[in-house]
Amino acid sequence: MSRGILVTGAAAGLGRAVALAFAERGDRVAVHYHSRQADAEATLNSLPGNGHTLVQGDITVAARQIADTAEEALGGVDVLVNNAAVLTTTETAHPLAGTSFEHWQRMWRESVDVNLLGAADMTFCVARHMIERGVAGHVVNVGSRGAFRGEPDHPAYGATKAALHSLGQSLAVSLAPHGIAVASVAPGFIATERVADWLTGERGAELKAQSPFGRVAEPREIAEAVVYLAGSQWASGAVLDLNGASYLRT
C-alpha cells in the first residue's frame, strides 16, 4: 500500500536519494526544502509515480506549518525522515583553535537549531498527526558516524548528531505504545554534490582510505537503509552504522 513520506532537506544530496528510493516503491513523497527551490523542483520532477508534492519552510520556525501542509497534501504522513541538517562543509568548519568566537557561536547555534531542535519539532508535529489518525508510523533520523568518532573540525555537528541519536532512542520508547517506531542511521562520509571538491586530490584519497573498501558511500546506499528502517517496527530504537567499516564502535 502506498504511504505518505515526508523527507526534510530533500532538495538534493542524500535527501533526494531518499525521496527517490521511496517513490520507486510506490510511495507518495513530500519533498521538503528551505531555500533551494530549483533543486527541490528537480527532485520532485525526478520522482516516478503520482501524488508527490513540494513543501517549503524553515524547520527551525515553521515545523508545524510544514507538517500540516504535508499531512494535507499526502492525505497523511506515515513516515518522517529527519534529514535536513547544517552539513560539514568548508564554510561550516569551526575548529576551536582556528576559528573566531563569532563564527564558533554562529555554527553552534545554527547546528543546534537545525540538527536537533528542528528535528525534534518536526517529530513532535508529525507524530501527533500519526497518533490522531491511529497509524503505525515511522520516524527515521539521519545521524552520523561523527556522533561516535568525533568531528574535530565540526564539533557542533558531531555533538548535535549524538543528541539526535539519543532523542530517537528516547522517542522509540515513548512512542511505541502508539505504534510509532523511531530509528536512526549513522552514515560516514557520503559522496554528494555539495562536498564533491572534498573527494579530489590528497583530501579525497585520505577520506576514501578511512574505509578498507577504499571509497566513500553513495547516497543510494544510505537511502536504502532509511527505507528499510521505515518498514521495520522491530528496528525501533536502533542506530544503524553505515560507514564501510571506517569506524567500529563497541
Q: Which residue type, as a one-letter code, is found at position 96?
A: L
Which stretch of DSSP H or E encloses residue 225?
helix 219-229
Where do the H-state alpha helices sit in 75-197?
101-111, 119-133, 146-149, 155-175
Cell for 176? 511505541
Give me the numbers of helices (H) and strands (E) for the chain, helices first please: 9, 7
Q: Which residue type, as a one-letter code, is found at position 74?
A: L
Residue 247 designated active-site: no
Question: Which of 33, 157, 228, 247 does the annotation list as catalytic?
Answer: 157
* DSSP-derived secondary structure for 58-82: -TTT-HHHHHHHHHHHHTS--EEEE
Query: Residues with catalytic annotation?
Result: 157
